Amino acid sequence: MGEFFASLFTIAFVAQTLRITVPYALAALGGVMSERSGVINIALEGILLTGAFTGAVAAYESNQYTLVGYEPNPIAAAVIAGALGGVLIAALYGLVVITFKADQIVAGVAINLLAAGLTRYLLKLLYDSASNSPEIPGFETGIFSNPVFWLVVLLAIAAYVLVWRTRWGLRLRAVGDHPEAAHTLGITVNAVRWQGVLASGALAGVGGAWLALSVRGFVENMSAGRGYIALAAVIMGSWRPQWACAACLLFGLAEAVQIKLQTYSIGVPNELTQMFPYILTMITLAGFIGRSRPPQALGQPYDSD
């Protein structure tokens, strides 16, 4: 038992926590971007999965070839491709819910089903495997010397500044709360929403690439509910990027502790500790911990006519 507690105060444990937190945080930041603009983002799960897939494919393929004497960095390729993949599937989501004004919850669920099916389908076509991609290059170093980690930290700070301190952020917040007001001041509501949704695709897509890089490959359904946890973090963080990240850190910490508990075979059932983020979110939603105020126009399509 003492050994267990001692193990929580090590750099390795901190690193472990952060490693787990990164994809949550990226997806949650994406969730904030989209939901602040008024678009519910249940599709985060599917975006993560797509990002993981495109990231893995890019890492693998770039490792196979040299481009005109230049050897591409597979990790950079994965991050970029993850973002692109995320943007692509988010664009499909945006098309359906912003342009065609479909119900955002239904469409989000459908995007998640689509991502699960499509990644498996393409896996089969590309690598003739039903469950996983070939091994890809992954992170070689510890997290603190991993440039991608610092990129993520930078993205988180940028997201904060963007939402609270820039013209774009002000418009994003206005459009999600009172789109008609923004429209009367000449702001194109759906354009801002498109930007929010695409930004969320890029961020969550990078999160997916991180997942693939951490385990050196793509495994079917590897997002495993992380998108939903990120969504939970957005709500817990009251649609503020900084607090959403904090919630992710809390969830990451809980998961890291659970892994430690397992290694020291301390008898807390794994299945029960897994419920922690979900139960916490339900408690928050019910208003037992503080108040969480969603953007008022969340989920309502805007018809500019």
Partner 1 sequence: MNTPALELRGVHKRYGVVHANRNVDLGVERQTVHALVGENGAGKSTLMKIAYGHVRADSGTVHIKGERIARHSVAQSIARKVGMVHQHFMLVGPLTVVENVVLGLEPRRRGLLDLSRATAEIVDLTGRFHLDVEPSARIEDLSVGQQQRVEILKMLWRGCDVLILDEPTAVLTPGEVRGLFETLRGLVADGMTVVLITHKLDEVLAIADRVTVMRRGEVVSEMDGKGLKADDIAHAMVGRPVLLEVDKGPAEVGSPVLEIEDLRITGARGINAVNGVDLLVRAGEIVGIAGVEGNGQKELVEAVVGLHPIDSGRIRIAGRDIAGLTVEARYRAGLAHIPEDRHDRALILDYSIKDNLILGLQRHFTGALDLLRTSAIAERADALIEKFDIRPANPDHLAVGMSGGNQQKIVVARELSRQAPKLLLCAQPTRGVDIGAIEAIHRRMIEARDQGLAVLLVSAELSELKSLSDRLCVMYKGRIVAKFDADDLAREGSLDEVGALMTGAVTAAEVSLGRAGDARSHDLAGDGADRSHSLPDPSGPAQDSADESAVSDGTVKDTVNDRMYPSEDEDEDENEEELS
Partner 2 sequence: MITRSVVRREAITIGIALAVSVVAGSLLIVLTGKSPTEVFSLLISGTWGNAYGFGQVLFRATPIILTGLAVALAFKVGLFNIGAEGQMIVGSFATALCGTSLPDGTPAVIAIPLCIAVGMVGGGLLGSIPGLLRAYYGAHEVINTIMLNFIAAALVLWLGNEFFFARATTRTEPIIEGARLSNFDMFPGSNANTSIVLAILLAVAVHLFLTRTRRGYEWRAVGHNPRAAENGGVNVRATIIGAMTASGALAGAVGANFVLGYKHYFENDMGTGVGFMGIAVALLGRNHPAGIIAAALLFGTLSAGGLTLAVSVGVPKDFISVLQAVIILAVAAAAATMYLRQHKKGDQAGDPQKGKPGQQNQPGKGDNADG
- Number of residues in contact with partner 1, rule: CB under 8 A? 34
The correct pick among 56, 107, 248, 256 for binding partner 2 (CB under 8 A) is 107
Nearest to 168 by CA among 178, 158, 153: 158
Options 50-58, 61-69, 124-132, 249-257: segment touching partner 2 (CB under 8 A) = 124-132
Torsion angle in degrees (nearest 10) through CA of 173, 160, 27, 302: 10
Q: Residue length, the chain?
A: 305
The yes or no reply on residue 293 touching partner 1 (CB under 8 A) is yes
The yes or no reply on residue 298 touching partner 1 (CB under 8 A) is yes
The correct pick among 105, 161, 191, 266 for binding partner 2 (CB under 8 A) is 105
Question: Which tokens is 204 given?
Answer: 């969550």
How far is residue 241's CA from residue 30's CA, in Å, rounded to a whole number? 9
The correct pick among 184, 265, 288, 303 for binding partner 1 (CB under 8 A) is 184
How far is residue 146's CA from residue 30's CA, in Å, rounded to a whole number? 22
Partner whose footprint covers residue 185, from partner 1, partner 2, none (CB < 5 to 8 Å by kind):
partner 1
The yes or no reply on residue 282 touching partner 2 (CB under 8 A) is yes
- Alpha-helical regions (H) of the chain: 2-8, 11-36, 44-64, 74-94, 104-127, 147-165, 167-177, 179-184, 189-214, 226-236, 241-263, 270-274, 276-285
Which element (helix H / strand E) includes 135?
A: none
Contact 32, 292 (CB under 8 A): no
As measured in angstroms, the least distance from the Cβ of 140 to partner 2 is 33
The correct pick among 6, 158, 275, 289 for binding partner 2 (CB under 8 A) is 275
As measured in angstroms, the least distance from the Cβ of 248 to partner 2 is 16
Residues that bind partner 2 (CB under 8 A): 42, 92, 96, 100-103, 105-107, 109-111, 113-114, 116-118, 120-121, 124-125, 130, 225, 228, 231-232, 235, 269, 271-272, 274-275, 278-279, 281-282, 285-287, 299-301, 303, 305
